[in-house]
Amino acid sequence: MPSHLTPITWLQALWDARQFKVMQPGQRRPSSLIRLYALETGSCEGCAMELRTLAGGAFALKASGFEFVPAPGEADWLLVTGAVTRSNAGTLLAAWQSMQGRKLLVAVGACGLDGGPFTASYAVLGGVRPLSRHYQVIKGCPPSPQDVLQALGVLAEEVWASPPVPAAADSE
């Protein structure tokens, strides 16, 4: 590439990136970020890919009050994508139990809720619905990053206005 193009390319790309960034309507930067951990548990990977996109630079995730963290022990909310294969049940439980404080279980997409098209079988438990009584849902197949961001914002308002999940729910 000719070297004289370099500054123009950078500037144009930076301008584009700034122009596009999707914000949550009416958002304000909250005082502390809600930390999210995404756990894939067996699916087409569509919802997991949407969460990757949400975590990228095209969406104003931090400005909306959220950030992804690399370990469940650092997270406030657990976002589950996938139909929960029997092989992953232990990983899901361990992730949930490693979380502290006012934690929240969120099923992202149809599979995360009830397995979607992947019905309960010798290999599949069928989402978080049969596993827990305390969870929230972000619908879609797959939900868009914008839908997820918007739903997270709504959940944040609802959750902080409601009483905490009982400690006994840890093992449910």
Partner 1 sequence: MSAMMDFLRGKPRSGLFHYRLERDDWIRFLALPGRLLPLLASWADEQKATILLLDGEKPVLISTSLELRRYHAPSSLYPVAAWGERMARDLWGVEALSAPDDAPALDDGSWAKTWPLSREGITVPGAGLTEPKGLYMSPCYVGLPGLVGLEYTLGGEGRLETVIPSIASAHRGVLSQLKGLTPEQALPIVARISAGGFVAHPVAFLRAVEQAGGIYPVPHERDTRLLLLEIERISLHLFDLSQTARLVQADLFATLCDQMRETLAALCASYGFSRRLTDVITLDEKQRERIEIVPLAQAVREAIEPKFSLLSDLYALYGERFRGYGVLSNDTVWHYAIGGTTGRASGRYIDMRRSDVGMRLEALRSSGGYGGDAHGRNLQRLSEIRDSLALIEEIIASFALEDETESFPALQEGLGVVESARGDIWYWLTLKEGRLDTIQIRDPALPVLTAFGEILRGEKPDSVPLILASFGFSPAGLAL
C-beta closer to partner 1: residue 141 or 154 = 141
**Between the CA of residue 109 and those of 25, 41, 51, 76, 106, what are the distances in Å?**
22, 12, 11, 19, 10
Q: How far is the CB of 33 from partner 1 (least distance, A)?
A: 19
Q: How far is the CB of 5 from partner 1 (least distance, A)?
A: 6
Q: How far is the CB of 158 from partner 1 (least distance, A)?
A: 26
Q: How far is the CB of 116 from partner 1 (least distance, A)?
A: 7
Give the other-Cβ count within 10 Å of 113's Cβ.
Answer: 20
**Between the CA of residue 31 and those of 93, 101, 103, 110, 125, what are the distances in Å?**
30, 17, 18, 32, 38
C-beta closer to partner 1: residue 86 or 139 = 86
Bridge partners of 67?
A: 35
Residues that bind partner 1 (CB under 8 A): 1, 5-6, 9-10, 12-14, 16-17, 20, 22, 40-46, 48-49, 52-53, 56-58, 70-71, 83, 85-91, 116-119, 121-124, 141-142, 144-145
Tokens of 127: 């989402």
C-beta closer to partner 1: residue 79 or 159 = 79
d(CA 97, CA 89): 12
DSSP letter (8 states) at residue 85: B
Q: How far is the CB of 10 from partner 1 (least distance, A)?
A: 7
d(CA 26, CA 9): 32
C-beta closer to partner 1: residue 86 or 158 = 86
C-beta closer to partner 1: residue 123 or 154 = 123
